[in-house]
Amino acid sequence: MIFIAACCILTFALLCVSLSIGKYELSVTESYRIFINILFGRNKVVTMADEVVWEMRLPRSMMAVSVGAGLSVAGAAMQSLLKNPLADPYTTGVSSGASFGASIAIVYGFCLLPSITGQNAIIVNAFLLSLIPSAVMVALNIFKKNTTATTTILTGIAIMYVFSAMTAMIKLLAKPESLSEVYIWSVGTLGKATWDNIGVVTTVVISGSALLMLVSRHLNVSTSGDKLAATLGININALRVYLLVVISFMTSAIVSFTGTIGFVGLAVPHMVRRIIGSENRYLLPASMAFGAVFLLLCDIIARSVGTTGLPVGTITALFGGPLFIYLLIKENKLLKG
Amino acid sequence: MIDKKILAIVVAVVLVVAGIGVLFVFNEGEKPYRSLDRSGRLMVFGNANNDDYLDGEDVSTLEKIIAEGLDWKTEYPLADANQDGVVDENDVEWVKRMVNREKMKIFYVDYYNKEQRVKSLNYPVKKCAVVGTNMLLALQSIGATSKIIGTTGEEKDPTMFSDLSTVFKVSDSSVTRADDEKISTLKNDGLNAVFTMDSTAFVKNEETIRGMGVDVVRMATSNIRDSVSAVITLGYMLELEERAGRYSKFCDDVYKEIETKAGTIKPEEIVTCINVTMSNSIGGLKSDYHEVTEHVGASNLFKEDVVTKKFEIGDEWLLNDTYDADFIIHYKQFPMKNPNLTEIWDSNGQYFTKMNAYKNGKYSIINSYMPLVVRMAYTAQVMYPELYGESYGDVICQYWIDNFQDNMKGSYLASENLLVIDSSVMA
């Protein structure tokens, strides 16, 4: 509880800091003055500075909190479910399906739903196509009895390769400017956050996380082995399907708005597990809380780098990768020592 | 009787004089345009006197250089026709052969990523392949379509490039590539040269193609001075000098007219702008369009020493007061006929919706399928409609179509098609 509380306080502190960070020239005091005045209804969004603080920085930071929390809790659940430390929310092939859908919209302007264009076409395509790999995996678990966790992971990887190949074909035919947009999307960015899409993502993350936490006890048992779970009356196949569906929907919703922000769902649960252990009743909420801190911090760094800032996905990989390796080495030493 | 004779003589004299006058005027009108430019726009070595032509004057200039021992390296940089490091009788003989338009090796100034380098070419080019839309436009304008036997395979505008729809494709869909095996196929059909842009992104396999005995010519076709220079040089290489001369005159005249009018803008009336290419690339000091916007009399506010800088959705840097311009001019290719306005407006404008120029209805998308000179005319029209006229772009565009775009002449009216999309169109 202390860890979660600490993360919440840190999240709030970083949220405040993030309001004054960006490439629009605005002093710290001016940023807060704008924020407070609009928050308490004293001002409306009129000037460019108002718009930057209220319509860009705040939604972006809140999106970082939601996405960080969502990807992390999904990663923690996925690792426990598949009993594989390398599993993450994208193991179901969600990212590759979403990338394919987004690429079609960006390169050809085609949307699976009629009369939708621009950014909305990207979101719709990414969401719908990201569900396909998950659906295959869920169907496999439903219709093929005795499907193991390893089979599930390998299926996800195979689907990922199929979609990646199709995305690569699209990229080969794309104009350079479309390629650039596909790249930005595939790295993952929080820059497209708006009040409208935050509502969608946050609702999905909160409800998805609640559904995952509901079965955290069963998840604990399943990590001890399928046979033990069965003797305790847990239908492991049904649990697997339930979790895959929840995780897939949650991840698809996130990915369709932000692109594939990597490493959060993989690294954060590991970091948290080192601190609070593997008990899923605590691991899931703690991963949520720490994921929010992690992604918000990465986004603050991303906003500050260079003359334009960077997509947050580059920072999560650059920052999270070495940290993850360090933790793994340290963990190994402890185990051997 | 005498009066009648006198009257007949007077009438005859009047008719003869009038006839001579008409003949004189007619001949004057048909007299080929001769540019007075002396900046070496014909970038072929042998153009000793730095004008736009390769002729007897170059031979005379060479003889003068040799006789008077003039400093040719600074004053006559194109004098060393055979590129042996000296200017002597051999160059005179070399240029005489060039003046006679003999089939021979020539040396010219090639552009490579804005750098200049000396390259050779087997003159004349009878059959060519083209990689790059701006190069394709330049060649169409000088009447070289019948010599183009290959071009890239991307989907091209069916109106603008209707005359090239059946031409062999040297790439599957890439706008920048010329595949080795396809060039090899064309080589068997008599391909002499591949014409492309100066950017290194185009024809990366240049060495391989040259290894096949096919010349690769790179020209800068997207800035004011170099675009005219490229046209004149291409005209020489392809034996289309007369048409290239007329086209260069058209460009010179428009640029001069714009420059003159821009010179009358009072300091307090100067508008500010930023320019955009691709979807969201803001043109910096090294961007060709930066020069275009300033040439028409605007002050371009993005003065970073870069070609372009991306402005993604969610980025803040362009929202700073420094870049709070009166106009955003976006150059983007879209269909010459029946463009999907909403799709073009939304997909390109989405990056700039927070900017004051966009909110104030001063965001315009100019079709960049047209040559630079026409794009500039539309740019002038958008930012200074009172000065240049509200249909200035259409007038220049129509003149270009009627005189230099053979496949559209008589079938395309600029005034009946949307070549600039702005908020008034979208309202």
More confident residue, A222 or B420: B420
Instruction: Indicate if the pLDDT at residue A161 is higher than 50.
Output: yes
Chain A: give the shortest CA distance to residue B142, in Å.
27
Is residue A2, in this structure, part of any structural domain at all? no
Residues of B with CB under 8 A from a CB of A: 154, 172-173, 175-176, 201, 278-279, 281, 309-317, 319-321, 324, 342-343, 346-347, 350, 354, 356
**Residue-level pLDDT at B23:** 44
Together in a domain, B290 and B354: yes
d(CA B374, CA B393): 7
> B67: domain CATH number?
1.10.1330
CB-CB under 8 Å, A175 with B315: no
Is residue A220, in this structure, part of any structural domain at all? yes
**Residue-level pLDDT at A133:** 86
**Residue-level pLDDT at B7:** 65
pLDDT tens-digit map of B194-215: 999 999 889 999 999 999 999 9
**Residue-level pLDDT at B52:** 96
> A189: domain CATH number?
1.10.3470.10
pLDDT tens-digit map of A123-140: 889 889 988 888 888 888
> B183: domain CATH number?
3.40.50.1980
Strand pairing category for B281-283 and B308-310? antiparallel
Provide the pLDDT confidence category of residue B22 given band limits of 50, 70 and 90.
Answer: very low
**Residue-level pLDDT at B305:** 94
d(CA B25, CA B200): 49
Is residue A113, in this structure, part of any structural domain at all? yes
d(CA B409, CA B122): 33
Chain A residues with CB inside 8 Å of B325's CB? none
pLDDT tens-digit map of B110-129: 999 878 999 999 999 999 99
A211-225, A236-250, A302-316, B123-137 — most confident range:
B123-137
pLDDT tens-digit map of B292-310: 999 999 999 999 999 999 9
Together in a domain, B287 and B419: yes
More confident residue, A117 or B335: B335
Is residue A172, in this structure, part of any structural domain at all? yes
How big is chain B, counted in residues? Answer: 427
Is residue A51, in this structure, part of any structural domain at all? no
Chain B: give the shortest CA distance to residue A23, in Å.
5
Lowest-confidence pick of A47-61, A97-111, A138-152, B336-350: A138-152
**Residue-level pLDDT at A308:** 80
**Residue-level pLDDT at B32:** 65
How many whole angstroms from its chain centre is CA A336?
Answer: 33
Nearest beta carbon to residue A24 from set B176, B313, B319: B319
Instruction: Single out the residue in B102, B134, B154 at which a domain terminates.
Output: B102
Q: What percent of chain B has pLDDT over 70?
A: 93
Contact yes or no for B44/B38 (Cβ under 8 A): no
Together in a domain, B213 and B313: no
Which domain range does residue A274 map to? 62-328
CB-CB under 8 Å, A25 with B320: yes
Is residue A22, in this structure, part of any structural domain at all? no
Together in a domain, B419 and B290: yes
Domain count, chain B: 3
Together in a domain, B420 and B292: yes
Asked if residue B124 has a cis previous peptide bond (ω within 30° of 0), the answer is: yes
CB-CB under 8 Å, A24 with B346: no
d(CA A221, CA A209): 19
Best A26, A58, A175, A192 member to test B by mutation, with max B CBs in 10 Å, is A175
Together in a domain, B400 and B280: yes
Mean pLDDT value across chain B: 92
Together in a domain, B373 and B272: yes
Q: Assign 3-class secondary structure to A1-66.
A: CHHHHHHHHHHHHHHHHHCCCCCCCCCHHHHHHHHHHHHCCCCCCCCHHHHHHHHHHHHHHHHHHH
Residue type, A192: K
Average pLDDT, integer, range A231-245: 85
Contact yes or no for B369/B336 (Cβ under 8 A): yes
Together in a domain, B214 and B171: yes
Which domain range does residue B309 map to? 265-426
Domain count, chain A: 1
Instruction: Single out the residue in B47, B70, B102 at which a domain terminates.
Output: B102
Together in a domain, B49 and B173: no
Is residue B250, in this structure, part of any structural domain at all? no
Average pLDDT, integer, range A84-105: 85
Is residue A72, in this structure, part of any structural domain at all? yes
Together in a domain, B412 and B309: yes
Q: What ipTM goes with this model? A: 0.82
Together in a domain, B296 and B421: yes
| Strand-by-strand arrangement of the B168-169 sheet | B168-169, B148-151, B128-131, B193-197, B215-219
Lowest-confidence pick of A97-111, A209-223, B1-15, B233-247: B1-15
Is residue A10, in this structure, part of any structural domain at all? no
Is the minimum CB–CB distance between A337 and chain B shorter than 8 Å? no
Is residue B395, in this structure, part of any structural domain at all? yes
Average pLDDT, integer, range A80-91: 82
Instruction: Indicate if the pLDDT at residue B152 is higher than 60.
Output: yes
d(CA B379, CA A15): 44
More confident residue, A308 or A267: A267
Together in a domain, B327 and B421: yes
**Residue-level pLDDT at A298:** 94
Average pLDDT, integer, range B91-101: 97
**Residue-level pLDDT at B27:** 47
Nearest to B109 by CA among B143, B89, B80: B80
